[in-house]
Structure 1
Amino acid sequence: MNYFTADTHFFHKDILGQNDFAPRPYASVEEMNQTIINNWNQRVKPTDTVYHLGDIALYFIKPVNDAYQAILDVLNQLNGNLVLIKGNHDSRAFFKFLAKHNYPLNGKPKFQFHDVGVLLKFDHRQYYLTHYPFMLGIVNQIISLHGHIHHYSVPIKENINVGVDSPELAYLSYQLPFGTPLSESDIEEMITGKAIDLAKRR
C-alpha cells in the first residue's frame, strides 16, 4: 500500500510545546521522535511505500555527519520503502548521505529521492506530490498533495496538506495518532470533506 506524510521535523526541539505553528506537546525530541516512529509502524507494514513530502528533520550538531547519522538511525526504524521529496529543510548533502547508506528492501532501494516532486495516479485522479502547495488553477481530477504549511490550509479544494500537523486532518471522521502516515482512503475523505466545507463558505 501507499501512504503519505510530510513535515515530521525529527529532532526539531524549537517546535516542542504549545505554539501557533506546529504545537507538539512533548517533553523532548526523543519522545516526539519515538511517538512518530511508533505510530508510523502501527500502520505501515515493511512491504508498504511511504511518500514523505519534505522536511524530514532539523538537527544542528557538528560534525554534520553526526546529525545525518542520527536522522538515518530514525529513518531506519520506520517501516516501508521511503520516497523522499525534498523540502526546504532537506539538503542535497543529506540526500547524498542517505544514498551512500541506502540498502535494498522489497526489491528496490529503502530510500528514493526527488528534488521537486512525484506524479501518481489512483482513485481515477492524478496527484502532484510536492513539498510546497502547487497552485493548479481550474483543473479536473488533479489534486496537489503537499506539506510545508503546518498551521494553515490553502483555501482551494484541490490542495490537500498531508503534513503531520495539517489542519486538514480535521476533515477525517476519525482521529489518527500523531505522525501516522495517511492512506489513499484517508486522502479521499480529506478531499471530500474539504470540498464540502469550502462550498458551504461561499
Structure 2
Amino acid sequence: MAIWFTADTHCGQGGIIRMCERPFHDVIEIDVALIGAWNAKVRPGDHVWHLGDFALGHDADTLREIFDGLHGTEFLVKGNHDTDEVLALPWARPPEKPVEIAADAVRIVACHDPVRAWGALGRTLHLHGHTHRPVPDPKGSCDVGVDSWGYAPSRIADVRTRLVGVTLDAEERREIRRRD
C-alpha cells in the first residue's frame, strides 16, 4: 500500500482554469484529466490524503460519481472551498483540519493552508495545498496541490526529492532558535 498526497483539485470549478492557468477548456475536461492522472498513479489499495478543496460547483450526485471513480481509500483535510456536499462524501474517516499522521516513517503535519512556522518545525514534514504554488517551498514544507504535481497525487519520496537543496529561510531559523 502506498500513501499519496494531493490538494486543490477543485473539481467542477470552472474559474480555477483561468485563475491557475490550467490547460483545460471546461470542467468536464479538467475532471476527466484529474481522475485519469489520479488513477494512473494510485492503486485501489492505496491511501490518498486530499488536503482540501476537493470540489466546488458540482451537485451531490456528480460529486459522488467523481469520488467513486477514484482509486484508493480517500481521506480529507478540510479546505476553505469544501462544501457540505464534499464533507458528506464517504471519506475513510471524518474530514478534519489539521491532522498529524505518519507516512514512510515521516511525521507529517497536514493542513490545507501553509503554516510557515510551527512548533514541530525541523521534526516533521508540513504538507499543504491552497497556494497553488505561487511561492517557493521552504525547507520542511511542501505544497502538494495538483497545480504543482502535474495534476496528480505525490508520495513522500517525491516531496523529499523536490525539497533536496532547499535551505532553511530566516523565519524558519528564528523559529527553531526560539523553540530550542
Aligned residues: 168
Separation (CA, whole Å) in 2 of partners of 1:51 and 1:8: 12
Aligned to 2:14: 13
Matched, 1:115 2:96: yes
Aligned residue identity for 1:118: V
Aligned residue identity for 2:109: Y
Q: Secondary structure at the match of 1:150?
A: coil
Pair 1:49–1:122, CA change in 2 (3 A): closer
TM-score by length of 1: 0.74
Aligned to 1:130: 111
What whole-Å deviation, never above 9, does each CA across 1:76-99 have from its counterpart, x for those lacking one? 100000001110001345313x2x
Q: Give me the identity figure in percent.
A: 32
TM-score by length of 2: 0.82
Within 5 A, what are the aligned runs for 1:45-84? 45-59=43-57, 67-84=59-76
RMSD across aligned positions (CA) = 2.3
Contact 2:133 2:143 in 1 (8 A): no
Separation (CA, whole Å) in 2 of partners of 1:187 and 1:151: 14
**Which of 153, 164, 171 is matched with 2:146 structurally?**
164
Pair 1:48–1:125, CA change in 2 (3 A): closer
Contact 1:7 1:148 in 2 (8 A): yes
Aligned to 2:40: 42
Contact 1:153 1:161 in 2 (8 A): no
Q: What are structure 1's unaligned runs of at least 5 residues?
A: 61-66, 103-109, 170-177
Deviation at 1:145?
A: 0.3
Q: What are structure 2's unaligned runs of at least 5 residues?
A: 171-180
**Which of 154, 162, 166 is matched with 1:190 structurally?**
162
Separation (CA, whole Å) in 2 of partners of 1:125 and 1:94: 28
Q: Secondary structure at the match of 1:115?
A: coil
Contact 1:125 1:141 in 2 (8 A): no
Aligned to 1:89: 81
Q: Secondary structure at the match of 1:30?
A: helix
Deviation at 1:114?
A: 2.6
Separation (CA, whole Å) in 1 of partners of 2:35 and 2:120: 38
Contact 1:4 1:51 in 2 (8 A): yes
Which segments of structure 1 move beyond 4 Å, counting only runs of 4 or more?
none
